[in-house]
Amino acid sequence: YVHDLNRYQAAYILPEGGKQVTHRDLLEELKQGTPFSFRELMREHLNAHYIKVLGISY
């Protein structure tokens, strides 16, 4: 569950070809990119959280 801190703090590995997208990356894409490019970058960003918290990848 999300509130289980030990599980949340566990190390995780991004899928092959995945990258860690920062909030700054998202902000820059929002300012300068297209709705489509922002949506794709947000998906990559959230995928890291899904892996970390839930152990699943989308």
C-beta of residue 2 within 8 angstroms of C-beta of residue 8: yes
Backbone angles phi, psi at 44, to 5 degrees: -65, -40
* pLDDT by 10-residue block (mean), the chain, 58 residues: 50 63 92 96 86 72
Number of domains in the chain: 1
Q: What is the pLDDT of residue 35?
A: 96
**Structural domain containing residue 29:** 5-54
Q: Structure pTM?
A: 0.63
Q: What is the pLDDT of residue 52?
A: 74
Q: What is the pLDDT of residue 1?
A: 45
